[in-house]
Amino acid sequence: MGRIITLITDYGWRDHYVGVLHGVILRIAPDVRIVDVTHAVEPHDITHGAFVLRQVLPWYPAGTIHMAVVDPGVGTDRRILVAQYGGQFIVTPDNGLLTFVHRDLPAEEMVSVENRHFFLSKISSTFHGRDMIAPVASHLANGVRPREFGRVTDRLEILPISWEAERTSSGLCGQVIYVDRFGTLVSNVQVKQLESIQEERGNVSVFVNGENIGSIKSTFSDVPIGKPVAFVGGSGNLEIAVNQGRAVDRFSPDAEVCIEVR
């Protein structure tokens, strides 16, 4: 079995787009394993795609190729990048999708894709995922070296979102960076920041939009049904949920999340 190519897109399942990506990949690299991580990224939501990409990267083996296509700028002069982090490769538009990966991990190599030899012969101005990104990922899986696609670069677009919460005189203050399908709010308060605050100052309380929702718990059922709860989720970040409810409906998707010493 060949290398793995993962797909992260906002294409959805209703139309033909995902099936076409599979076809292009398999025609060029018939031995690859294709993993559909998700095609339910909110349309045009680069932050959503960037978060999903950062979450899946640690769980795949070296040599995996991740295709991330959330591309509201398709058809413009925005670039396509091939980037390597932790022995894995990402092929993606240069529009901020690499933000959270790049802030957490050192880039081992980054190339701006310019060699049209690796694209399909006819290129649609609205379907670069099919005509440019999927072929590049497939040729990469076949052993083409990143530098054969174009020139090395160290420049990339970064979203104006902080990956970590800010230190304050009373603790930490951060923001929501992702809302999952359960309505859980994932903040940019990272577990390493929490551990540092707790080591320095002891127990803490969590405030969401100024409302004290108590201490950090282990799981949803540590509070009654319908009550808000703060916990460190599988993302490694502080998350806010409502037990069997939706925190986003209670607090809003752009809620402020602060940690204060009790």
Measure the CA–CA gap between 182 and 195, rounded to whole angstroms. Answer: 26
Calculate the average pLDDT of the chain. Answer: 95
What share of the chain has pLDDT > 90, as a percent?
90
Give the pLDDT confidence of 27-51 residue by residue, as tens digits.
999 999 999 999 999 999 999 999 9
- pLDDT for 199 equals 74
- pLDDT for 22 equals 98
Contact assessment for residue 241 and residue 224, using Cβ atoms and an 8 Å cutoff: no
- pLDDT for 198 equals 77
Q: Which two tokens stand for residue 259?
A: 């940690």
Q: Please, where are the H alpha helices in 147-246?
A: 191-201
The reported pTM is 0.92
What does the CA dihedral 198, 200, 204, 207 come to, rounded to 10 degrees?
-100
- pLDDT for 159 equals 96
- Domains in the chain, CATH or no CATH each: 4-152 (3.40.50.10790), 166-261 (2.40.30.90)
Give the pLDDT confidence of 66-77 residue by residue, as tens digits.
999 999 999 999
Give the pLDDT confidence of 187-238 residue by residue, as tens digits.
999 999 988 887 776 678 999 999 999 999 999 999 999 999 999 999 899 9
Confidence of residue 262 (pLDDT cuts 50, 70, 90): low
Residue recorded with tokens 């940019």: 188
Helix (H) or strand (E) holding 217: strand 216-217
- Return the closest-CA partner of residue 50 out of 165, 181, 159: 159
Characterise 44 by phi-psi region: left (phi > 0), alpha (psi -120 to 50), beta (else). left
Q: Which residues contact 22 (CB under 8 A, 6 or more apart)?
A: 34
- Classified as helix, coil or strand, 69 is strand
Q: Please, where are the H alpha helices in 9-122?
A: 17-28, 46-56, 99-104
Of residues 63 and 202, more confidence is placed in 63
Distances in Å between the Cα of 42 and the Cα atoms of 54, 71, 239 are 16, 11, 20
Beta bridge partners of 241: 229
- pLDDT for 196 equals 85
Q: Which residues contact 38 (CB under 8 A, 6 or more apart)?
A: 8, 9, 52
Measure the CA–CA gap between 78 and 27, rounded to whole angstroms. Answer: 27
